[in-house]
Amino acid sequence: MLKLKNYKVSEVLENINIDFEKGKKYIVMGSNGVGKSTLIHSIMGRPDLEVSGKLTLDGADLLDMPVDQRAKAGLFVAFQTPTAIPGLSNFQMMKQALDLKGSELGVKLAEYKDNAKALKLPDGWDKRNVNYDASGGEKKKSELIHLKMLDNKVAMLDEPDSGLDVDGIKSLITTLNNWHNEENTLIVVTHYEKLIEGINPDAVLVLKKDDVIVGDKTLADTIFSKGFDSV
Amino acid sequence: MYKQLFSYPFLSKQPSKETYYNLNELIDYITSDEYIAITEEHTDKNIYKELIQCYKANLLFLKEHGLPHSKQEQFNTFNLNKLYSLDILSSNEAKTSSIFDKLSYLATSDENLVTCIDGDVFTTESINKKSSAGLQILDYMKVGKQRHTEYTKLIEKTGNFSNLTFGSSIYPNVFIFPNGSKSKYANKPVKITYENSKDDPILESNTNIVDVQYGTHVKLVEKVKTTAGQMNYVTYIVREGSTLEIDRDTTDAGGWSVFDSRFICHPNSIIKINCSNTGSQYTQENFYFKCSSGVKLELNGRNNVRKGNEYYSFVRVRSADNDNTSNIDVKNIGNEHSKTSWIGRFEVSPTSTGFDGTMDNDNLMLSSTAKMNTRPILDIYTKEIQCTHGCTISNVDKNQLYYLQSKGFDKATATSMLVESFLC
């Protein structure tokens, strides 16, 4: 589905070769500063990152596409620190993203509110400004609503557990497992053992500057017990 | 403007539409010895003796001081050279419609509508119905001598453009919202439109006085539409315990405008102003507040200055006595080749203890070709106050843009959403 070949990002990552397959769940691990977030955002097309090599989604070349076209092609990124936009309400953004009109608007608003309630976000969340005056955990939950409501093939979540409380982690695991199916691909950057257990990934990838080590869940167990230098 | 100037003999000398004419020439014209002599002639004859005397004193002041200049603090980031080089006879308006066509909507509407064109006031029938609690509009034909004297005293020599505006529109119109109207004009606001007619010459001026009397709540919805040059000078008197709300929208219609708003705020009055402006080939909007005690003032400006347009604004708050509150929040957006300038000034006197003021001016530059200036000035003579200011000029936030693009919005839509959110 999503393929990276001889992929290089600025001076951070090089010689990255990964084939993310449809219907699979992946955990991405790596030591601090190795470039996990950079990898995700380079795939999304963040303009300040210089990229070379090959990047394709279902055979279509992504490298020449601007960010919004990659999103429309099916890529989704949940930010580690979601950006605040004062003056833009959460549902207004969703309304514009889905181009909602007429009766569909009411249906989606109800769906948005149900999602917010299920994630234990405060009443009136739909009217609150995007990631503004919100706690770290609330911002992460808001990203999960986007994941559920926007139509994506590949979801990349950058440390979605940080800032979440115990109940929040449970909701996160439930949301990700409910979202995932045979037609899409889930990629989660995390070092949180319980989240990895909850997701039960098909593969664990350990990112190094110029290499990617691929293994199953036991690779994560090894790292938890012996550290990154052991692999 | 010349229909307002009573020096009839000069009408024959007014420039034709084919002639280039600017503000310097206008001021030369109305401060000439010949013109002032005719003013003196009228002083003897006219029943509005005090107004004519005031008018003459204003002309002499103009003659002495001339037009405002960029060495004055309030204008030194304004593009006055551009203003003075404008041809004040040029018009963007189609010459087919008559003033009656333009005002025909007044005949059928049951709203409280007022249109000001070159010193004349036109209203809907509902406003003309006389009642003790109704809005009284006193133009120079109706104003009584005693009231006339009272209101004439309010016209000051300021050194800004208001003197020139008054100089070219001698008879001020007075709008009185009497005590008995209570909240009548808050529930059903008065909509005032400032327009240009297509008469020759094109520059048009309005000098108005709005008197919101004791314990009254009034809302004005002001539309400023300039298809040619327009100068407005409005003095708002907000009496004790009264509330004045103004929603003002100034839209580029091909002309240019200077709008001086002066507020005399009596004790415990409340003033709330929301204004928006697109700029024009030259737009200047100035607010002068003189606050007594216990005044609550709120000014919100949301100005999206269009491509190539210019918008300049000056806000001065003079706090004379204790316990005044003042919140100024102005946001400007600069599109390609636009120019904006904002200068804000708090003047807090030694007797003005308990003053609580915030002054914010945020500017969003959408293009590297935009030029934006901001300058907060705090002139404070007492310690027992709270006062903050924050002025910023920034580009579109790249992180916000990327965040929205990652949700599927193209760059233009994301930028537009960020502009909208900035102006919220």
Q: What range defines the domain where residue B54 resides?
A: 8-94+136-181+200-423
Q: What is the mean pLDDT of chain B?
A: 88
SS3 B148: helix
Q: What is the mean pLDDT of chain A?
A: 94
Burial class (CB in 10 A: 0-12, 13-18, 19+), B410: middle
pLDDT of residue A113: 96
- Among the partner-chain residues A82, A88, A146, the one whose CB lies closest to the CB of B421 is A88
The verdict on residue B258 lying in a domain is yes
CB contact under 8 A, A79 and B409: no
SS (H, E, C) chain A: CEEEEEEEECCCEEEEEEEECCCCEEEEECCCCCCHHHHHHHHHCCCCCCEEEEEEECCEECCCCCHHHHHHHCEEEECCCCCCEEEEEHHHHHHHHHCCCHHHHHHHHHHHHHHHHHCCCCCCHHHCEECCCCCHHHHHHHHHHHHHHCCCCEEEEECCCCCCCHHHHHHHHHHHHHHCCCCCEEEEECCCHHHHHHHCCCEEEEEECCEEEEECHHHHHHHHHHCHHHC
Q: Which residues of A119-128 are buried (b: 16+ CB within 10 A; e: fewer)?
A: bebeeebbeb
CB contact under 8 A, A72 and B408: yes
Q: Could you give phi then psi for residue B333, rounded to 5 degrees?
A: -115, 130
The verdict on residue B108 lying in a domain is no
CB contact under 8 A, A88 and B420: yes
- Measured CA to CA, the distance from residue B182 to residue A74 in angstroms comes to 59
pLDDT of residue B12: 45
CB contact under 8 A, B408 and A71: yes
Concatenated DSSP letters of B264-324: EE-TT-EEEEEEEE--BSSEEEEEEEEE-SS-EEEEEEEEEE-TT-EEEEEEEEEE-SSS-
> What does the radius of gyration of chain A's CA atoms come to, in whole angstroms?
18
CB contact under 8 A, A68 and B408: yes
Ranges of chain A with pLDDT below 70: none
Q: Quick check: A122 contacting B, CB < 8 Å?
A: no
- Measured CA to CA, the distance from residue B286 to residue B165 in angstroms comes to 13
Q: Which residues of B touch A45 (CB under 8 A)?
A: 405
DSSP assignment letter at B168: T
pLDDT, tens digit (0-9, with 9 covering 90-100), for B89-116: 777 766 556 667 778 878 788 899 999 9
Q: Quick check: B421 contacting A, CB < 8 Å?
A: yes
- Measured CA to CA, the distance from residue B211 to residue B18 in angstroms comes to 40
What would the CATH number be for the domain defined by A2-83+154-165+184-230?
3.40.50.300
pLDDT of residue B148: 67
The verdict on residue B1 lying in a domain is no
Q: At what angle do helices B145-152 and B49-65 cross, to 10 degrees?
A: 20
**Structural domain count, chain B:** 1
pLDDT of residue B7: 43
DSSP assignment letter at B74: G
CB contact under 8 A, B406 and A67: yes
CB contact under 8 A, A66 and B406: no
Q: Could you give phi then psi for residue B261, rounded to 5 degrees?
A: -115, 125
CB contact under 8 A, B403 and A150: no
pTM confidence score: 0.87
Q: Quick check: A99 contacting B, CB < 8 Å?
A: no
Q: Which residues of B touch A66 (CB under 8 A)?
A: 405, 410-411
pLDDT of residue B144: 60
- Measured CA to CA, the distance from residue A161 to residue A62 in angstroms comes to 28
Ranges of chain B with pLDDT below 50: 2-3, 6-13
- Measured CA to CA, the distance from residue B125 to residue B112 in angstroms comes to 8
Question: What chain B residue is nearest to A92 in terms of C-alpha separation?
Answer: B417
Q: Quick check: B300 contacting A, CB < 8 Å?
A: no
pLDDT of residue B150: 78
Locate B5 and state its tokens: 């100037």
The verdict on residue B191 lying in a domain is no
The verdict on residue B308 lying in a domain is yes
Size of interface A-B (CB pairs under 8 A): 66
- Measured CA to CA, the distance from residue B14 to residue B37 in angstroms comes to 18
Helix (H) or strand (E) holding B237: strand B229-238
pLDDT of residue B233: 96
Contact B62, B164 (CB under 8 A): yes
Q: At what angle do helices A90-98 and B411-423 cross, to 10 degrees?
A: 150
Closest-CA distance, A208 to chain B, in angstroms, reads 26
